Amino acid sequence: MADNENDAIAHWRANFFTGLAIVMPTVISIAVVVWLFRNVANLTDYLLFFLPRAWTHAKQSPVDTEHLGDMYWYWSLCAFVLAVVLVSLIGRFGRNYFARKAIEWTDKAILRIPLLNKIYGTIKQVNESFTSNKSSFKQVVLVSFPHKDSRSVGFVTGEQKGADNQKWIS
């Protein structure tokens, strides 16, 4: 009897974790997309600061005209389109020599600010590794990490010679 219960629990556990492995990427992806759209909408809505809030936001109640509710969806869409246009214009501006120099100066200034330099530097480094023309990640490998019986995925970014003339992957 106990073996049947253990087998049933083990079978259920295997099914549960298999189902979790199938469902989890979808759930996480949807959650990230929803979170991203909400936050992008919150940020882009500020681009419409020049319009009266009575135009862009719904009234919470007909009696209370002072407190406004959420922004109308079409104004959020308008703000998003405005953000896309502004980013495109900045990208166009950033392609000439003087703008590249201004961006370099801004980068250097931001990298001198404590705490912000850590966040900005990390994001910039990750962005450059994925968007640069030269391949930062030469190949994908399995390495023994955190101990010899466990494997983790790693990316080969370069090679070095060790003290004993062995090749080390970094």
Are 157 and 143 contacting, i.e. CB atoms less than 8 angstroms apart? Answer: no
- Positive or negative, the CA dihedral 129, 134, 136, 137 is positive
At 167, is the pLDDT very low, low, confident or very high (cuts 50, 70, 90)? low
Cβ-based neighbour number of residue 22 at 10 Å: 9
Which range (52-61, 96-105, 144-153) has the least confidence? Answer: 52-61
pLDDT of residue 59: 67
pLDDT at residue 166 greater than cutoff 60: no
Q: What is the DSSP letter of 101?
A: H
Nearest to 76 by CA among 48, 35, 36: 48
At 165, is the pLDDT very low, low, confident or very high (cuts 50, 70, 90)? low
83-108 pLDDT, tens digit each: 888 888 888 877 787 778 888 888 88
Please list the residues that pair with 26 across neighbouring strands: none
Mean pLDDT of 6-31: 82
**In the Cβ-directed half-sphere of 128, how many Cα atoms lie within 13 Å?**
6
**Hey, what are 131's tokens?**
């968007």
Mean pLDDT of 135-153: 77
* Residue 62 preceded by cis peptide, ω within 30: no
